[in-house]
Structure 1
Amino acid sequence: MAELGKNLSRRGAATTQKPETTRAGDVVAAAPHKGRPRTSKRRGSLGNLVVMTLAGGLVATMALPAYAFTPGTNETQFGTTASTELSQAAAQNVTVDAQAASVTVARDGFTATTEEELAAASAAAAAAVEAAAAEARRQSAAAAMTTYAASYSGPSVSDFLANPAYPNYDLGSVFSVASQYQGVPYVYGGATPAGFDCSGFVMYVYAQFGISLPHSSTGQGAAGTRISEADARPGDLVIMDGHDGFYAGNGNILHAPYEGASVRIQPIWTSDYYIVRLGI
């Protein structure tokens, strides 16, 4: 028995042999004992535990989608709403008013102004503006003529034609008489020293020599003979489009220009004119 006890003590000492340590405190594995190793058992238990853990997680993961698509009784998180239950039961009802059957549908109509209509309207508006301006000018001219007639009491064109102030006609005398009226204001329709327009001025001067002319620049141009500018002399007529006056020499004209201006001499400002001489 004593021998048996010693043997057991030796085996226990070998089994419980502590690991050696170095001076730095590192653990050095203990020498393996001669008995059956226990490490394989521990490793087997640990592997089984890992496999069981992974299997449980996999089963839980696969069960989540099924649980999500099949809600339980938790109405707060997964419960169906009243509108969802009605949709699933196909319980919708639509009420249509009885008058809907008698409603007629028609295409909306519209109108548009054509380019021709717009152009016509614009032309009509421009014509209206021009007519209003012409009427204003007529009224202004009428008022001026009233003042003009009241302010002049001397001989008229008809008086001179009946009794010419200068029976002997020559261009130098004509220009001399015309030059006396510089400063007379322009008056539309005027034909006396109270106020002249362009053709009224020419008509009044030539009437004093017994020569009758129409109150029109075109008519006065047609009453004479065209000559070249090189042959022109003061007293000849300068005829333009809608305007005329006396040739004053050196490319100048003596005329009644426009409203707001007076009879004056100035250079001819255009090349669109011709010279006419009367009495030949």
Structure 2
Amino acid sequence: MLRSGTALSPRGEPGTAPPKRSISRRRRGALANVVFMTLAGGLVATMAIPAYAFAPSSKETNFGATAATELTRSGAQTVEVAEQAATVSVARDGFTATTPEELAAAAAAKAAEARRIEVAAQMSSYAASYSGPSVAEYLANPSHPSFDLASVYGVASQYQGVPYVYGGATPAGFDCSGFVMYVYAQFGISLPHSSVGQGAAGTRIALADAQPGDLVIMDGHDGFYAGNGNILHAPYEGTAVRVQPLWTSSYYIVRLGI
């Protein structure tokens, strides 16, 4: 006979029944395994959702890329600028630089001023060495009241050898128009100290009609016609009044007194 509380062994033989505490532990372990498997399955399903949600099949026509997505794929960018940005002015800072042109202009101005001082000193020196009549005095009291071209050329020829002086209008030194002005003043004819002004004071004539004493007018220069294609003039600095052949065809003849 089996006693109460006696269990059979796997072979059907009576044995001792397992304790109740061991049975309880086994049940809790089995329950934990079920819970774990349930949670693991849910986690896997959750992780798979984004892949399915954002990877539609080509057969689904209701799903399409947005305009922003297309711009992102194409690399396009949009930049918004505030309206007031169009009215913003750019101010130059306080730094300034001298340009090559400004440097050249400054150098030219400095050279011109030095030249002006040099000429003024030179003219002062020549003026101090001359004590004869001036242009104004000759105009007030001409030494040759009878005017003719031959006499004009004769007076002009007397000044050969007078040095060229820029701005000069006396026998101490002549420039080109100062020479012409001084000679014609002795005949009572007033002329400006300018080759352009002297050319405008007379009448143009043909070269074939030119006589010694007429004026040869060039661009920025003039003198007396000396006949045979020559000119009597005060050439340039470093030279003196002289006769020489005309070196250019760019001139015209002017006669005064007609």
Q: Is TM-score (shorter-chain normalized) higher than 0.5?
A: yes
- Give me the whole-angstrom Cα distance separating, in 1, the residues matched to 2:247 and 2:107: 30
1:211 aligns with 2:189: yes
Unaligned runs of 5+ in 1: 1-116
Q: Secondary structure at the match of 2:128?
A: helix
Q: Secondary structure at the match of 2:104?
A: helix
Q: Structure 1 residue 149: deviation in Å? A: 1.2
Unaligned runs of 5+ in 2: 1-95
- Give me the whole-angstrom Cα distance separating, in 1, the residues matched to 2:129 and 2:158: 19
Aligned twin of 2:100: 122
What TM-score, normalized by structure 2, do the two folds share?
Answer: 0.61
User: Which residue identity is paired with 1:173?
Assistant: S
Q: Structure 1 residue 122: deviation in Å? A: 2.2
Aligned twin of 2:157: 179
Q: Secondary structure at the match of 2:105?
A: helix
User: Which residue identity is paired with 1:222?
Assistant: A
Q: Structure 1 residue 124: deviation in Å? A: 1.5
Q: Secondary structure at the match of 1:143?
A: helix
Q: Structure 1 residue 145: deviation in Å? A: 1.0
| 1:223 aligned residue (201, 210, 226) | 201
Q: Structure 1 residue 148: deviation in Å? A: 1.1
Q: Report the count of equivalent residues.
A: 163
- Give me the whole-angstrom Cα distance separating, in 2, the residues matched to 1:130 and 1:226: 37
- Give me the whole-angstrom Cα distance separating, in 2, the residues matched to 1:172 and 1:248: 10
User: Which residue identity is paired with 2:205?
Assistant: I
Q: Structure 1 residue 134: deviation in Å? A: 1.0
1:153 aligns with 2:153: no
1:197 aligns with 2:175: yes
The alignment yields a C-alpha RMSD, in angstroms, of 1.4
User: Which residue identity is paired with 1:192?
Assistant: T
Q: Deviations over 1:108-150 (max 9, x none)?
A: xxxxxxxxx99x8222122122112211210111001110111
Q: Secondary structure at the match of 1:279?
A: coil
Identity %: 78
What TM-score, normalized by structure 1, do the two folds share?
Answer: 0.57
- Give me the whole-angstrom Cα distance separating, in 1, the residues matched to 2:246 and 2:118: 28
- Give me the whole-angstrom Cα distance separating, in 1, the residues matched to 2:118 and 2:158: 27
Q: Secondary structure at the match of 1:210?
A: coil
Q: Secondary structure at the match of 1:127?
A: helix
